[in-house]
Amino acid sequence: ELADTCRESVYLTILDKSACLYIYAIESSDRLLARTAIGERTPLHCTSAGKAMLSFLPTETVETLIKEQGMTKYNDKTIIDFAVLLNELKKSRDRGFAVDKEEHETGMFCLGSPVFNESGEVFAACSVSGTDPDILGKKKALFSAGVRYTALEISRRMGFVPSGDKKIWKEIANPLREV
């Protein structure tokens, strides 16, 4: 549903040691490259899926994972300062989704939201990705609501029950059905 509405690529990743491991992909038919991301490992510090997962982990765990992985610079937009990353993770946690503004791949714009297990621990992320800069512009409200809703639905199917004290879970309706 998310891929159909957004007409962009949608991914499901899991936290695999100190990286994102892509386990499911629906590639956009509009994408020029015919490739599959399944089985690919990407960094945590500069992808929306990675930052979505990191944003709901304890700071000590984030620090350990980043030390293991490093903060490789992929281009001029890659975050390579740990303090800047922590600030970005706080913003991601507060809004319930993370952004990748061409930080890993030039020309790619992504939004990702965390997926939780039955114990309320983040273990995966759902993301939407594409080459259209409007993903982070005029489409951001719809796409971010869609990725949050989808991640929450996956979490619920994994046994997660959202607690009422987190504002990011308050009344996430399905924005995809309204389009």
Whether the Cβ atoms of residue 27 and residue 52 lie closer than 8 Å to each other: no
CA distance 53 to 96: 10
Task: Tell me: pLDDT of 37 over 90.
Answer: no
pTM: 0.88
The confidence band for 28, taking pLDDT boundaries of 50, 70 and 90, is confident
Class of residue 77 by CB neighbours under 10 A (exposed 0-12, middle 13-18, buried 19+): middle
CA distance 101 to 52: 14
For 140-179, what is each residue's pLDDT tens digit?
A: 988 899 999 999 999 999 999 887 655 555 556 566 555 4
Whether the Cβ atoms of residue 163 and residue 121 lie closer than 8 Å to each other: no
User: DSSP states of 99-153 as a string?
Assistant: EEESSSSTT-EEEEEEEE-TTS-EEEEEEEEES-GGGGTTTHHHHHHHHHHHHHH
